[in-house]
A and B are shown apart, each in its own frame.
Chain A
């Protein structure tokens, strides 16, 4: 049972375990990045939706709500100027 006393595995057998461990680590990171990418897509979609809404409302009220070439500028302004008090955890 003692690993200290255990003989070293031959390289062809040890190699697959070492590769397995490092691959597991990489896969774990990739899964995390994929989940984060999905969240980022959702944020982008909502931001686009908000930008369109703000533009539409600006047009209805007679003062354009933003430059159509730069959708999402409203969001930048708000997030940039406000404190981070509103930084709450999203479920």
Chain B
């Protein structure tokens, strides 16, 4: 039962998001260089961090799926990747807005951090057509797991490569010669990160609950259908095309 504890988790998420927004706008000091526009940092960076970690989590579930053959891990891998792609859309949009405000351009092609995230995002965008191009359910799950593992391994490699590129354009606020973020900003950032992580977990759980409910519904249809046809009662099938419908 994936829905267990979902209400508590949702309440905790809402409370944490409210607390982090309060910290962002009423507690964290204004950045000396960027001023008020730096407030986007507390949304953009946690979103990106959680999205990238989510991709890796999807890969870990995929490993478990290949090791055990349990389709539940395949579903978890799919949902983790799906949610991270949605967060990725948020990263690209908020990043573009921040870029426009800071640099005067919506997108900067010679900046490794932006382009590398776009590459990761586009890589995962191909996960859906790749997955659903395969009709056989078991093969689909296996191939999708292989994809998730390969792409999941690419994420940290990509991160390290970008770090090594030593870009001068993208701000490195965590470790600078001046000592990085001040304490109040760190606290606010950590609260925002926790809020985003909680949101990700809540939405993943929400999605898995919905998928499980839908799968159980299909299972119920099939069970009733078998019972009906086995009893020879002459009743119509529960729903036309149930047997051929992908569940």
Contacts and interface: CB of A to CB of B under 8 A. Distances in A.
Contacts of A87: 71-72, 75, 211-212, 215-216
Contacts of A14: 35-37, 101
Interface residues of A, number: 50
Interface string A37-74: 00110010011011001100100110000000000001
B166 interface: no
Interface in B164-186: 168-169, 171
A22 B101 CA distance: 14
Most central of A21, A24, A61 by chain B CB within 10 Å: A21
A17 B34 contact: no
Q: Interface majority SS on A: helix, strand, loop or mixed?
A: helix
B210 A2 contact: no
A76 to B, nearest CB: 9
B29 interface: no
Contacts of A79: 212-213, 216-217, 219-220
Contacts of B108: 1
Given A11-B36, A22-B43, A84 B212 contact: yes
A7 to B, nearest CB: 8
Contacts of A20: 97
Nearest to A47: B217
A3 to B, nearest CB: 4
B142 interface: no
A60 B75 contact: no
B173 to A, nearest CB: 9
B47 interface: yes
7 contacts: A2-B168, A6-B33, A6-B102, A14-B101, A36-B207, A88-B71, A91-B246
